[in-house]
């Protein structure tokens, strides 16, 4: 995949990675509870998570403490696979750090990143 990606495509890939990554928590009822608590803490919808990654990071730490790092790393690995980028784990990195490392920033202004 090139490093040019539309905002809607980026958001879809992030949501897919989060959904697949949340699978580590359990089956559908557990994932439903996960999204309920994340949305409650973010005061937003699941679909808006890609535009609120710092708040998502905080919500994960509120829910899982240090376990959030495992979940964020799993989500990042899935996202990197979708983007065709080799994943390398880094101690202390958040999901946002991994996304910034791709060169694709989730808060880009236009619908096209180059």
Domain count, the chain: 1
Domain of 27, CATH number, reads 1.10.1200.200
pTM for the predicted model, two decimal places: 0.85
pLDDT in tens, 53-102: 999 999 999 999 999 999 999 999 999 999 999 999 999 999 999 998 98
**Residue 19 falls inside a structural domain:** yes
User: Cα 65–108–47 angle (5° rounding)?
Assistant: 55
Which residues are within 8 A (CB) of 19 and not within 5 positions of it... i.e. 6 or more apart?
A: 31
DSSP annotation of 112 reads B
Whether the Cβ atoms of residue 82 and residue 17 lie closer than 8 Å to each other: yes
Share of the chain above pLDDT 90, in %: 72
**Residue 60 falls inside a structural domain:** yes
């Amino acid at each position: 995949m090139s490093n040019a990606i539309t905002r809607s495509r980026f958001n879809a890939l992030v949501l897919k990675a989060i959904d697949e990554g949340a699978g580590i928590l359990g089956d559908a009822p557990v994932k439903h509870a996960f999204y309920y608590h994340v949305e409650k803490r973010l005061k937003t919808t699941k679909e808006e998570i890609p535009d609120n990654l710092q708040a998502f990071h905080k919500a994960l730490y509120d829910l899982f403490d240090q376990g959030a790092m495992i979940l964020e790393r799993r989500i990042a690995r899935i996202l990197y696979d979708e983007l065709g980028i080799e994943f390398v784990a880094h101690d202390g990195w958040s999901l946002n750090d991994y996304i910034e490392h791709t060169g694709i920033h989730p808060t880009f202004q236009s619908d096209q990143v180059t």
